[in-house]
Structure 1
């Protein structure tokens, strides 16, 4: 791989042209963020319960004394032996943000349908610190369209990322993030959810790779990603040669 080689003057001209597009993208991101903040909310009236290392907790308890809650729908089903590599990739970025999020009145928690012992074992393997709860036996994952029953997957379509898709394009578990707000009266509101490639901006490594000469250098979306303890040192040095 090698792009066209030009003079410094020609490079500067091309870079300034790209800068205009980058600024346009930044302004568009600001506009999208403002629209996101202006989204209407929906009250959460259903009682959801979760298993945590500190015992059974309600959705309200997961806020941990804060008014904002971000739930990462982590793909780890009841029969899975390990967490999804893509979800693991995103989750590698979380621990360092926790102090900043908590200080900003935001609690982050991962939620999976696997039972708690399986979650705890995988969390220990990955050496993560963020809170992680089990929704096993709850409707939570199904209500937020990130888990699907065998009957769902045998139907004509399933709903994911706010649209009907063929079950062949789905799985029993899929990723997403959902945001919730709790007011002083204890009322909980669902404010936002995002799925599929809508999660990419939460993955700092992808944003960094986008600035590298070869970019993401992938055959398909995140095809290069493994769990962080599965990379062979010699492969990491020479995989792109």
Structure 2
């Protein structure tokens, strides 16, 4: 992939790229002018996302993981290092499904349902683990209920992984967390974590990453009503399959 920092001087201005003639039936001149203005901003946003990705990939080595955490997997005990399989990169998602919960977090579940469909592709490039503090039997039972086929579930109920990498209080509520780990020469390091939590949220907005990892919000952001201010995903809807 081309380094955007190296090629930024040769990029055409976004407004030049965004100059489009009328494209759709019945659109007015005012619509096309406004749409082209928006298109220029979308091009700039795409470029900024790539600049951030380049900067993220250039991070110096992160901290060495303090221990080879032991988890309970669907097929028995497994360590963090073993979760990598044949890959040198491991992505983990902390699922808000601790032992105190009767049912998991609906928001986490919505995200993981989307990831389940993408997992065969994701696993071509990196390893991916879904980690919750509830007993593995409880995690797997919900996986079957939801019809997930590809997500790999692990219980961290017997270690401090969630506290160390999701800032969870073992006696309190769960926290969601995305983390990326790398392995080189047998050494496992922390590479990156989603750190845009409540303290970084803008007024009137929920905490969110950039880009937002939830496909649900990406789709709704393209619509006139947007995300709304009083709606969140549910685990079940009347009359629809889970």
Asked if these proteins are the same fold (TM beyond 0.5), I'd say yes
SS class of match (2:128): strand
Cα distance in 2 between the residues matched to 1:140 and 1:173: 12
CA deviations over 1:145-166 (Å, ceiling 9, x no partner): 342144xxxxxxxxxxxxxxxx
Shift of 1:45: 3.2
Change (3 A) 1:200 1:90: farther
Change (3 A) 1:101 1:209: same
Does residue 1:117 correspond to 2:137, yes or no?
yes
Native 8 Å contact 2:99 2:133 kept in 1: yes
Does residue 1:91 correspond to 2:112, yes or no?
yes
CA deviations over 1:209-229 (Å, ceiling 9, x no partner): 11123222332xxx33112xx
> Aligned match of 2:58 in 19, 38, 43?
38
User: Runs in 1 of length 4+ with deviation above 6 angstroms?
Assistant: none
Which structure 2 segments of 5+ residues have no match? 1-25, 198-207
Corresponding position of 1:29:
49
Cα distance in 2 between the residues matched to 1:18 and 1:135: 45
Cα distance in 2 between the residues matched to 1:123 and 1:49: 21
Q: TM-score, normalised by structure 2?
A: 0.78
Native 8 Å contact 2:90 2:182 kept in 1: yes
Change (3 A) 1:199 1:35: closer
Corresponding position of 1:19:
39
Native 8 Å contact 2:49 2:211 kept in 1: no
CA deviations over 1:89-115 (Å, ceiling 9, x no partner): 1001112222212222x0111001111
Q: TM-score, normalised by structure 1?
A: 0.78
> Aligned match of 1:137 in 144, 147, 158?
158
Cα distance in 2 between the residues matched to 1:128 and 1:7: 42
Corresponding position of 1:231:
237
Corresponding position of 1:218:
229
RMSD: 1.9
Corresponding position of 1:186:
186
Count of matched residue pairs: 202
